A and B are shown apart, each in its own frame.
Chain A
Amino acid sequence: MKKIKYMMSGGLAFSEQQDMEKLRKKSLKGWHVKDFKFMGYGLEYGEKEDVIYSIDYRFLDENEREEYLDFFSAAGWRHVCSEADMHLFKAAPNTAPIYSDKDSKIEKHHRQGKVINGMALGLLAFTIALFFVSIFTTGTFQTVAKISFFGVFVFTVPAIMTAMAIYYQKWKIKLKEAK
Chain B
Amino acid sequence: MKQIEQLTDSVFYIMAALTTPRHGYAVMNLIEETTKGTVSIGPASMYTIIKKLLQQEFIYLYDDSDSRRKTYLLTEKGREVLTEDIERRKVMIQLAENGLKEEQS
Residue numbers of A with Cβ under 8 A of B are 54, 56, 58, 63, 66-68, 70-72, 74-75, 77, 96-101, 103-105, 107-108
In the bound complex, CA of A130 to CA of B7 (Å): 48
| Chain A residue nearest to B24 in the complex (CB) | A71
Q: How many residues of B contact A (CB 8 A)?
A: 22
Is B41 interfacial (CB-CB < 8 Å)?
yes
Interface on chain A toward B: helix, strand, loop, or mixed SS? helix
- Per a CB cutoff under 8 Å, which of B8, B9, B47, B49 touches A68? B47
Total A-B residue contacts, Cβ distance less than 8 Å: 69
Which chain B residues border A75 with CB–CB below 8 Å?
28, 42-43
Is B10 interfacial (CB-CB < 8 Å)?
yes
Contact A63 B67, CB 8 Å, known A71-B24, A96-B42, A107-B48: yes
Q: Is the CB of B42 within 8 A of A99?
A: yes
In the bound complex, CA of A108 to CA of B48 (Å): 9
Q: Is the CB of A98 within 8 A of B45?
A: yes
Contact A103 B24, CB 8 Å, known A70-B68, A72-B43, A96-B42: no
In the bound complex, CA of A173 to CA of B36 (Å): 27
